[in-house]
Structure 1
Amino acid sequence: MKITSFSKPSEGAWNGDTRSIFLKKETIYFFRHETRANILFIDGHVEGVNYGSVPLNTHNDVFWSGN
Structure 2
Amino acid sequence: MKKPLVHLRGGQGSLKTILQHNSTREQLVKYIRCNRLTDSLSILENSGYTGDLAIFVLANLQSLEVEA
Q: TM-score normalized by structure 2?
A: 0.30
Higher helix share: 2
Larger-Rg structure: 1
Q: TM-score normalized by structure 1?
A: 0.30
Higher strand share: 1
